[in-house]
Structure 1
Amino acid sequence: MINKGAIIDPSCEIADSAEIAAGAYIGKNCVIGENVQIGYNAVVESNTTIGDGTVLSPNAHIGGAPQDYSFRGEDTKLIIGKNCVIREFATIHRASTKEDVWETVVGDDCFIMAYAHIGHDCKLGNNITLTNYVSFGGHCHVGSNVVAGGYAGCHQFTRIGTGAMLGARVNVSKDIPPFCMAVGIPARIEGLNVVGLKRRGVKPDARLELKRAMAILRDLKIKLADVPDKLAELEQFEEVKIFIDFLKDSKRGFTRR
């Protein structure tokens, strides 16, 4: 149902089961999936796809242009997955033209709480929770099952590994490895996200090897060049492989302390 007080560009594709409240604005070339709910005065600025079952709360603003001096109004995109919740005054921007794929992407089943911000060209996995005032700068890549506490801030181009947890007010300027908890300014590794691993059914022996992997990473007596060989000595559970592969792919550097 579309309220008569909503403003919708004629180029949009909107599923019959979608609900759009009064005052909502949906700009050009947007695609709104089945059972999507868009609240009062919410803005979907342009070139945005919203997956089935997602809820956009009143006054949320998504699909806006990237905050990038070099942007010249190109038709970059924002893709929102299925069954997400995006709360009031959250902002998510479309991509710039600085990556091969001109898309900002938010996966399925994500909960983006009030006043959180996701910058241009970010790529978020599934089942991510961003609590109030979390901010991701442009080009951040975030694995699935990540939780970020209030006011957590991530510098552009940083990566957050799958299953990681960011504490409140943490300041991330280097990559955070998978399954770790990071706290502080600047970010430091506090420990393994044991609660998250248990909730996802990771077995005790795999958790133990991840603890050993994390201890190797944090041991500054081990030269960085020797870390891969030390990690290769561990039993190669799937989670350990994810941990090792993440470190191998790091371009910005990762937090060791």
Structure 2
Amino acid sequence: MSRIHPTAIVDPKAELDESVVVGPYAVIGAGVRIAAGSSIGPHSIVEGPTTIGRDNTIYGHAAIGTAPQDMKYRGEPTELVIGDRNTIREFCHFNRGTTQDGGVTRIGDDNWIMAYVHIAHDVQLGSRCILANNATLAGHVHVGDWVIVGGLTGIHQFCHVGAHAMTGFQSHVSQDVPPFMMVSGNPLGVHGFNIEGLRRRGFSRERIGLVKQMHRLLYRDGLTLDKAREAITALAGQVDGGDADVALVLDFLAASTRGIAR
């Protein structure tokens, strides 16, 4: 039995594993590659160049791999790359990259992406993230692993959100959000760190205490950013397994170009 519904349209230049399921009235364009175990829901559109990995589930009415919403775009052969085991719900909209950046919009693995999420050109989304309904990521946004983006949150172009961070409902993210931090509101405010998420991911009590110290140095002790970075650097070597957490924060702060939410 064919796994491609008879009402679907699949371009001859698309490459689909024989196990891929394509629902009614879906349209798969040239330059699309879809690996084993993935499914495309009814009325969805997938345009190329787009690569979709294994065991992804894309629900109905999604628009995947469409041209970037960038007025400078002139049809250059940029692409969208999606990893493995992602769940992408109804009416999501993912754009390809632009030549003004690396030319690739990239989605990692094991993400849970709810309905109406927009991922714009050149976004780099990590793995094991949750994007709630109507989250909107503008062009060139970078999101680390294990991030939770609350419903109706908007993230301004070029902003970075660090690993394990969390944004609340209807957050207006216009500056970089350091790893582990919890933010919400408009204007954006930092309201602690993601302690429950770290517990669920198996962080030890000592590592959680280290993250708490970094939060305090950045947001509670009245230090300048440079002094806070010095104090965070001094935390290295104090907690088993914690040096990677310290390095994650320091590297993020060093790379920030929009300034951090404070």
Shorter chain as normaliser: what TM range? over 0.9
User: Of 219, 228, 243, which aligns to 2:249?
Assistant: 243
Name 1:62's counterpart in structure 2: 64
| 1:209 alignment partner in structure 2 | 210
Task: Report what 2:135 is aligned to.
Answer: 134
Aligned pairs for 1:1-257 within 5 A: 1-99=3-101, 101-219=102-220, 221-236=222-237, 237=242, 238-256=244-262
How far has the Cα of 1:220 moved from its partner?
Answer: 6.8
> What is the one-letter code of the residue matched to 1:97?
T
Query: 1:21, 1:8 → 2: CA distance?
Result: 11
Structure 2 CA distance for aligned equivalents of residues 133 and 217 of structure 1? 30
Instruction: Give the superposition deviation at 1:218.
Output: 1.1
Mapped partners of 1:114, 1:95: distance in 2: 21
Question: Distance in 2 between the 1:9 and 1:235 partners?
Answer: 54
Partner amino acid, structure 2, of 1:131: A
Q: C-alpha separation between the residues in 2 aligned to 1:187 and 1:246?
A: 18
Q: 2: distance between equivalents of 1:235 and 1:102?
A: 36
Amino acid paired to 2:215: M
Secondary structure at the aligned position of 1:215 is classed as helix
Deviations 1:31-68 (A, max 9, x none): 01101111110110221111110011010111111010
Determine helix, strand or coil for the equivalent of 1:191: strand
Which deviates more, 197-206 or 227-236?
Answer: 227-236
Supply the distance in 1 between the matched residues of 2:5 and 2:171 (Cα, whole angstroms). 41
How many residue pairs get aligned? The number is: 255
Q: Is the 8 A contact 1:206 1:240 kept in 2?
A: no
TM, length-normalised to structure 1: 0.96
Any unmatched runs of 5+ in structure 2?
A: none
1:145-167 Cα distance to aligned partner (Å, 9 max, x none):
11111101100000000011110
Q: Distance in 2 between matches of 1:84 and 1:232?
A: 36
Q: CA offsets per residue over residues 160-208 of structure 1, 9 Å max, x none?
A: 0001111000100010011111111121111110111011111111111
Deviation at 1:224, TM superposition (A): 2.2
Identical residues among aligned pairs (%):
39
Aligned alpha-carbon RMSD (Å): 1.1
> How far apart are the structure 2 equivalents of 1:112 and 1:54?
11
Measured in 2, the distance between the counterparts of 1:219 and 1:157 equals 27
Distance 2:8 2:70 in 1: 29
The gaps in structure 1 that reach 5 residues or longer are: none
Distance, in Å, in 1 between the alignment partners of 2:117 and 2:136 is 6
Deviations 1:86-131 (A, max 9, x none): 11111010001111x2100000111111011111000011011101
Cα distance in structure 2, aligned partners of 1:41 and 1:72: 27
What is the TM-score when the length of structure 2 is the normalising length? 0.95
- Cα distance in 2 for partners of 1:180, 1:221 equals 17
How much does 1:249 deviate? 1.3
Code of the residue aligned with 1:239 in structure 2: it is D
- What amino acid sits opposite 1:166 in the alignment? T
Is residue 31–residue 47 contact of structure 2 (8 Å, CA) maintained in 1?
no
